[in-house]
Amino acid sequence: MTTHAKHTENELKNKEKKSQKLKIASWDVQETFQEGALRQFTLELQRYDIATAAIQKTKQKGNSITEIGNYIFFNSGNANRMLGTGFLVRKNLK
């Protein structure tokens, strides 16, 4: 392998590494218990190419793990739909 070929191969590897950025977000969503709200939110995450989002005020009951589109929703809430916290993680990261 020539020096030029090695140099080009290394450049390609570096470009691949640079293009593998992981976007993380934090959003105050107010309410996600209404039907379709989380699905709509995951579409927004896809639109902005966000891999993981921490979300506040989910107002979901109990603790759960649910698949929604290309994401997995990890939720921690309480019985009276007050506050609540969750994470949406793109499935390819698990």
Provide the pLDDT for residue 80.
Answer: 76
Residue pair 37/68 in contact by the 8 Å Cβ criterion = no
**pTM attached to this predicted model:** 0.70
Residue 24, C-beta contacts closer than 8 angstroms, at least 6 positions apart: 50, 51, 52, 53, 54
Provide the pLDDT for residue 63.
Answer: 87
Provide the pLDDT for residue 91.
Answer: 93
Residues of the chain with pLDDT under 70: 1-20, 30-35, 94
